[in-house]
A and B are shown apart, each in its own frame.
Chain A
Amino acid sequence: KQEVTQIPAALSVPEGENLVLNCSFTDSAIYNLQWFRQDPGKGLTSLLLIQSSQREQTSGRLNASLDKSSGRSTLYIAASQPGDSATYLCAGPKAAGNKLTFGGGTRVLVKP
């Protein structure tokens, strides 16, 4: 069974600092890796999806990388803002399919 881990569980940074969020997975045979944002009391919003054949994806201030050989993905958020405060989750299916295994999430607080 694939395990997905996110460390740290919580992170606090001053506004303007770059955020680096880590995601590790035990099985390198993941099909893709997806990053989500979850605001308190809300559902999950998809941020970026990296296919297994890709090394990274970018959207605005967000950049996600994928290294299957080391079993790691990293989400970079440049020049953080208080509005970036949320919980960030990574997830991926083990094989071709849509059954996601989630990490526990990293709760981020960006202080003004």
Chain B
Amino acid sequence: NAGVTQTPKFQVLKTGQSMTLQCAQDMNHEYMSWYRQDPGMGLRLIHYSVGAGITDQGEVPNGYNVSRSTTEDFPLRLLSAAPSQTSVYFCASSRGNSNQPQHFGDGTRLSIL
């Protein structure tokens, strides 16, 4: 049981480039979300999904897109990378009931030059 798998683990981009961070879970969880973690800012919610075909914005959605075509996958797209998007990105999943614990991936460390 792999849990939540994020790829890649590390990535360096140039300003203006686009890329997709992958997230997959094998627990059949309805709820998936993306957070970014920055020093002094803690973890902040970017986008989330309550099920396939349904996505919504979190606290810091600007510059990011998401889609949820399957229950298992929830990719995060950076449209035009900016240095302010340098961060560690975490994907999480849980059962739809909010009284269930959330499971996190190991993160993607992204640097924008």
Chain B associates with chain A: yes
Interface residues of A (CB under 8 A from B): 31-32, 34, 36, 42-46, 49, 51, 89, 91, 93, 96-100, 102-105
Does A42 lie within 8 Å of B101, measured CB to CB? Answer: no
Nearest neighbor of B48 in chain A, beta-carbon distance: A99
Whether B52 is near chain A, meaning CB under 8 Å from some CB there, is no
Q: Mark B27-65, 1 if CB is under 8 A from A, else 0.
A: 000010101000010111100101000000010000000
Does A32 lie within 8 Å of B98, measured CB to CB? Answer: yes
The list of the 9 closest CB pairs from A to B, nearest first, reads A46-B101, A44-B104, A43-B104, A102-B43, A43-B106, A98-B31, A49-B101, A104-B42, A102-B42
Interface residues on B, range: 20 to 34
Q: Mark B71-113, 1 if CB is under 8 A from A, else 0.
A: 0000000000000000000101010101111111111000000
> Which residues of chain B have C-beta atoms less than 8 A from A89's C-beta?
42-43
Counting chain A CB atoms within 10 Å of each CB, the highest count among B4, B42, B96 belongs to: B42
Known contacts A32-B99, A49-B99, A98-B48; decide if A44 and B90 are in contact (CB<8 Å). yes
